Amino acid sequence: MQTVRIYNTITRKKEDFIPINPPHVGMYVCGPTVYGEAHLGHARPSITFDILFRLLNHIGYSVRYVRNITDVGHLENDADDGEDKIAKKARLDQVEPMEIVQQYTLNYHECMRFLNVLPPSIEPRASGHIIEQQEYVQRILDAGFAYESNGSVYFDVEKYNKSHNYGMLSGRNIEDMLSNTRSLDGQDEKHGPLDFALWKKAKPEHIMQWNSKWSKGFPGWHLECSAMGEKYLGKEFDIHGGGMDLMFPHHECEIAQSTAANGSSAVRYWIHNNMITINGQKMGKSLGNFITLQELFTGKHELLQQAYDPMTIRFFILQAHYRSTLDFSNEALQSAEKGMQRLFAGFNTILELPTHDTSTFDVQNLKNACYEALLDDLNTPILISHLFVALKSIQNIAAGTLTITEHDKKELHSLFSVFLCDLLGLLPPEAKSEEHTELLNATISMLLDERVEAKQNKNFAKSDAIRDKLTQLGVRIKDLKDGYEFEIQ
RNA sequence: GGCUCCUUGGCCGAGUGGUUAGGCGCCGGUCUGCAAAACCGUUUACGGCGGUUCAAAUCCGCCAGGAGCCUCCA
């Protein structure tokens, strides 16, 4: 089996990926909090870990991929009177919290399907695992790393840090953090300012609350991932992923929780994708500078010059390495759109290439380079650059300056199919013609036949009028040596 | 303020010591009645200053600018 090298946040190095129980791989990725529409930022981790999921399966692993839906809103702020985000949205819209959850879960799923993100093996919800989370809290209490205070249960960070290292993932140390904590209201329940809630007592008016031995309340912010990760992947599993913004405190707390409960930090490889920025600034819900995926698909947003196909978004994201920030702009998206179209056009011409007895084009070498790129910490931009170089060769073969054997031709076609479609998960532009009736195609052909005739009669006024009108209507005309092709946009 | 990270040509974006990354754009060409599309070719680079080295975009130091996290966030 080929070896994947992956950057592990916890060691800050690229490491060979060695699973605990090959060929099985357990992978947990933090999914969305469903209290708003999926935006461009959500597409990044989904696509990044979709690539990893596809790659690991492709090279022979059997991956159980767990991606949660957070449907118990975390509190909007740390103070006692903080409101649950989902509950707040429900109150504003005057609906049940679960209606909010349902609406945005469906929206997220739909966007993921458009982006050709494979569904995970298991998609657990926090609200469906309250019991598991309560049991997890109890285990941390039993281990002595948590305390009950006024119906809530908190994790004792300072005590934990005496025997373990709180901050090992994010590279912080507790003294720095203690000297930097801001004083917030409603912290008197906590013994220390860094302590975080495992179970939180709810006020009577709080909509989402469950019975527990401590109080009627709801689980703490970081608990669901620890509880659900363990339930479906075991006490120790291979990969945990998510956005970089979750590194602290979310993932740090997860490590502390599982170490307190089980004595081990649960996760072998921590993988974090970087942010998508807009004008150099993080795109985020709380900053209000985000563009939803639906808006991108339809072009309905003041910053968008046009609608973008989901595959364009996917290609755009894959043209940057997942650990780099990626800056949004219309120009970048349009350049991605055009490049991807050329790549697929090249893919289509492979089958039509003339063959020879010998190849002057090294398919095997290309294949190795493609694998090398992807296996080296998911370097999709390098992989794509190899495909573009291959595209040039395809065109040279078509032009006769390079030759290829029948066997290599098939190899080349399968290479494009594997890397472009199966691994990068890009789908060819849809055959739009199916959406249109034959009648429409026949009608356009008739007009274009008219135009050919007009051109032959040197009636250019008429031929240009037909061309301009059809172009205006969204028919892209390609004049060929003998005849024409057209495409309905 | 603390921790982490970034600064590459018109734009996007790879690259960790020595060989053209790649895409888009621009420009030139082929094709065309003219265009468009397509194809061919071409161009500009490593924030600043110093150091290590035969050799640095790549390592080290300082400076400047920017970002993320430190409150929920992908």
Q: Quick one: pLDDT at residue A310?
A: 95
pLDDT category at A334 given cuts 50, 70, 90 is very high
Does residue A241 lie within 7 Å of nucleic acid chain B, judged by its CB? no
- With beta carbons less than 8 A apart as the criterion, state whether A26 and A237 touch: yes
pLDDT category at A326 given cuts 50, 70, 90 is very high
Strand B neighbours among A 354-413, CB < 7 A: 377, 379, 381-382, 384-385, 388-389, 391-392, 395-396, 399
Average pLDDT of every residue of chain A: 90
Identify nearest nucleotide to residue A337 by CA to C1′ distance: B24
Q: Quick one: pLDDT at residue A76?
A: 62
Distance, in Å, from the CA atom of A363 to the CA atom of A429, rounded to the nearest integer, reads: 25
- With beta carbons less than 8 A apart as the criterion, state whether A233 and A66 touch: yes
- Is the per-residue pLDDT at A75 higher than 90? no
Cα A180 to its chain centre, rounded Å, is 33
Q: How far is the CA of A13 from the C1' of B50 (A)?
A: 29
The stretch A432-456 carries a mean pLDDT of 81
Which range is most confident: A119-123, A324-328, A404-408? A119-123
Does residue A190 lie within 7 Å of nucleic acid chain B, judged by its CB? no
Does residue A25 lie within 7 Å of nucleic acid chain B, judged by its CB? no
- What does DSSP say about strands A475-480 and A276-278: parallel, antiparallel, or unpaired? unpaired
User: How many C-alpha atoms does A317 have within 13 Å on its Cβ side?
Assistant: 29
pLDDT category at A440 given cuts 50, 70, 90 is confident
Q: Quick one: pLDDT at residue A185?
A: 46
Lowest mean pLDDT among A28-37, A385-394, A426-435, A469-478: A426-435
Eight-class DSSP state of A433: G
Distance, in Å, from the CA atom of A297 to the CA atom of A314, rounded to the nearest integer, reads: 12
Q: How far is the CA of A329 from the C1' of B45 (A)?
A: 22
Distance, in Å, from the CA atom of A308 to the CA atom of A111, rounded to the nearest integer, reads: 13
- Is the per-residue pLDDT at A481 higher than 90? no
Does residue A425 lie within 7 Å of nucleic acid chain B, judged by its CB? no
Closest residue, CA to C1' of B10: A331
Both tokens assigned to A354: 């003339």
Strand B neighbours among A 94-133, CB < 7 A: none
pLDDT category at A480 given cuts 50, 70, 90 is confident
- Is the per-residue pLDDT at A356 higher than 60? yes
**Residue-wise pLDDT tens digits, A191-209:** 888 999 999 998 887 778 9
Which range is most confident: A13-27, A176-190, A272-286, A444-458? A13-27
Instruction: Please provide the distance, in angstroms rounded to a whole number, between the alpha carbons at the two ends of chain A.
Output: 43
pLDDT category at A435 given cuts 50, 70, 90 is low
The stretch A381-393 carries a mean pLDDT of 95
Lowest mean pLDDT among A53-67, A162-176, A393-407, A432-446: A432-446
Identify nearest nucleotide to residue A399 by CA to C1′ distance: B39
The stretch A338-367 carries a mean pLDDT of 91
Distance, in Å, from the CA atom of A285 to the CA atom of A300, rounded to the nearest integer, reads: 18
**Residue-wise pLDDT tens digits, A258-313:** 999 999 989 999 999 999 999 888 998 888 889 999 999 999 999 999 999 999 99
Does residue A77 lie within 7 Å of nucleic acid chain B, judged by its CB? yes
**What ipTM was estimated for this complex?**
0.94
**Residue-wise pLDDT tens digits, A96-134:** 889 999 999 999 999 999 999 999 999 999 999 999 999
Contact positions of strand B to protein Cβ (< 7 A): 1-5, 11-15, 21-25, 31-41, 66-74
What are the structural domains of chain A? Answer: 5-273 (3.40.50.620), 277-423 (1.10.730), 432-488 (no CATH)
Instruction: Please give the share of chain A, as a percent, with pLDDT higher than 90.
Output: 69
Element (H, E) at A152: strand A152-155
